[in-house]
A and B are shown apart, each in its own frame.
Chain A
Amino acid sequence: AQRVTQPEKLLSVFKGAPVELKCNYSYSGSPELFWYVQYSRQRLQLLLRHISRESIKGFTADLNKGETSFHLKKPFAQEEDSAMYYCAGAGANNLFFGTGTRLTVIP
């Protein structure tokens, strides 16, 4: 079965420290992966997708097929990065999510 796994429910880092939110996937065929973010009192929204190979708000995520991972990284965490982060994979016309990681950046 296709799935994405986020092993950490909670993650706390200090402001200015590097942050890595883990995501592992199990996929048949070529994976199509995304990161979504939900800031406090805001809607869940797309952060980035692996096919774009983009950097959004300083975050990057690289697909590692050897480790079947798609970890989200940022070199220097900011307080405004505190949010709920979901890794997601595309199935046949649907999107399935991991259980999410709540990131707290400590001032």
Chain B
Amino acid sequence: DAGVIQSPRHEVTEMGQEVTLRCKPISGHNSLFWYRQTMMRGLELLIYFNNNVPIDDSGMPEDRFSAKMPNASFSTLKIQPSEPRDSAVYFCASSLAGVEKLFFGSGTQLSVL
């Protein structure tokens, strides 16, 4: 298994543009998490899904952020419109059951100019 797969690895965009980050969890895992990593705040949980259903999105910073999980093998995190302060590394993680062990993707380095 290739593990959790995220795309793109790097994204550079201009302020105001729409950004879509993608994640493919490990097959069979039923929980999926989106985190944002910054120097100042470390790892922040944005949203998590259980069996494709969003359980808690209280970490989503603003209405500009949205996340979907249309099926068990795919999730997206969208920022529209993007702003320079959204620049960060966005991680997706999945787990088989609860939070006993999370498997992280390689992350997407987002730069909004």
The chain A residues found within 8 Å of chain B, CB to CB, are 6, 32, 36, 43-46, 49, 86, 90-91, 93-100
**A94 x B91 contact (CB < 8 A):** no
Cα of A46 to Cα of B95 in the assembled complex, Å: 12
| CB pair B104 A44 closer than 8 Å | yes
- Please determine whether A43 and B105 come into contact, CB atoms closer than 8 angstroms: yes
Contacts of A100 in B (CB 8 A): 42-43
Q: Assuming A45-B103, A93-B99, A97-B35, what are 5 further A-B pairs, CB within 8 angstroms?
A: A44-B104, A49-B101, A94-B45, A97-B42, A98-B42
Which residues of B have CB within 8 Å of A32? 99
Contacting residues, chain B, for A94 (C-beta < 8 A): 33, 45, 48, 55-56, 99
CB of B102 within 8 A of CB of A46, answer yes
- CB contact between A95 and one of B33, B40, B42, B107 (< 8 Å): that residue: B33
Task: With both chains docked as a complex, state the minimum distance between the C-beta of B105 and any C-beta of chain A, in angstroms.
Answer: 7
B50 within 8 A of A: yes
Give 1 or 0 for each of B82-108: 1 = CB within 8 Å of chain A CB. 000000000101000011111111110
B interface residues, tally (CB under 8 Å): 26
* Smallest CB separation, B85 vs chain A (Å): 18
B106 and A97 contacting across the interface, CB-CB below 8 Å: no
A43 to B92, CA, bound (A): 11
Cβ A95 vs Cβ B99 within 8 A: yes
Alpha-carbon gap, A26 to B106, bound state (A)? 29
> Distance (Å) between the CB of A87 and the closest chain B CB?
10
Complex contacts, A36 vs chain B, CB 8 Å: 102
Contact A93 B55 (CB under 8 A): yes
Is B31 among interface residues, defined by CB-CB distance under 8 A? yes
Chain A minimum-CB-distance residue to B101: A46
Mask for B27-61, Cβ within 8 A of A = 1, else 0? 00001010100001111110010100001100000
Supposing A95-B45, A99-B41 touch, asked if A90 and B99 sit within 8 A by C-beta, the answer is yes
Q: Bound complex: CA of A94 vs CA of B59, how far in Å?
A: 11
Residues of A contacting B50 in the complex (Cβ-Cβ under 8 angstroms): 93
Given the complex of chains A and B, what is the CA–CA distance between A62 and B101 in angstroms? 19
